[in-house]
Amino acid sequence: MEDKKLAYMMTKQVASGGYMGAVLVCDTKGFPLEFRYTEPIIPTKIQKVLYGNNLEKYLKVDVIIDSLLKVLSSNYDLLLVSDETLLEYKDAKNIVKIAPAQNPILSGNDKIQKVEENETLLRIDLSENPIRLIFKPNFKCEGAEFDAITSTLLEMGKNVDITEPLTRVNKSVDLICKREI
C-alpha cells in the first residue's frame, strides 16, 4: 500500500466555556507527522445571542476545523473525526466520523456491512468490535471513493488500531488545557 496520511481531528468544550480543537496527521503505521491545536475560543455574549443554538456548530465547523486545516503543512488522504457535526465542513475531502461500534454485529468473515446510505461497519483486524464509519449525509457507501477509503482503513487496521490516534489527540488536548505540556 502506498503511504497514505490520515488526519485525526477532534473538538471539545473546555472548562473555560470555550471550545478548542486539535488535529494529528499520522502515517498508516500510526506514527505522528504533524500536530496542531487551537487555543480555547471563548464566545462573547453577543455571539451567544446572535448565533443562539447554532453557536457550537459555528465554532466547531466554521472556526476551529477551518483554521486547523488551513495551517497544516502536511497533506492528508483521509480526515477522521470524532464528532458528527464536523462532517458539515464543506472544504474537507474524504471526511469520516469514526467510532468503535458497541456490538460485533458483522456476520461471518464480512469485513464491511452497510448500515445506512452513508454509514457502514468495518471489521478491522486489530479491533475486537467493528468500527463505525459515518460519512457526510449525501455520501453513498459504494463506488470508487468508498472502496478507496475502506481499503486504506482495512490495510492500516492490519498494523494499528485505527481509532487509537483519536485518543491521543484527546489526551493531548487535556494536557494543553491543564497546562501540563
What CATH code is carried by the domain that includes residue 103?
3.30.420
CA distance 127 to 135: 20
Of the candidates 69, 99, 114, which has an alpha carbon nearest to the alpha carbon of residue 164?
A: 99
150 phi-psi bin (left φ>0, alpha ψ -120 to 50, beta other): alpha
Span 18-40, average pLDDT: 93
Provide the grid cell at 70.
488551513
Look at 97-111, 117-131, 161-175 and tell me which has the smallest mean pLDDT: 97-111
**Distance set, CA 22 to CA 42, 169, 174 (Å):** 16, 7, 11
Residue 180 inside a domain? The answer is no
Span 9-23, average pLDDT: 91
Structural domain range at position 65: 5-171
Q: Between 110 and 119, whose confidence is greater?
A: 119
Phi (first) and psi of residue 156, to 5 degrees: -65, -35
* Pairing of the two strands 5-13 and 78-81: parallel
For the entire predicted model, the pTM comes to 0.90
pLDDT of residue 10: 95
Q: Average per-residue pLDDT in the chain?
A: 88
DSSP 8-state class, residue 88: G
Span 71-90, average pLDDT: 92
pLDDT of residue 20: 94
Span 76-102, average pLDDT: 89
Domain count, the chain: 1
pLDDT of residue 109: 67
Residue 178 inside a domain? The answer is no
Residue 70 inside a domain? The answer is yes
Q: Name every residue whose Cβ is closer than 8 Å to that of residue 120 and which is 6 or more positions away in sequence.
A: 112, 113, 114, 132, 133, 141, 150
The yes-or-no verdict on residue 104 having pLDDT over 80 is no
Residue 29 inside a domain? The answer is yes
45 pLDDT tier (thresholds 50, 70, 90): very high
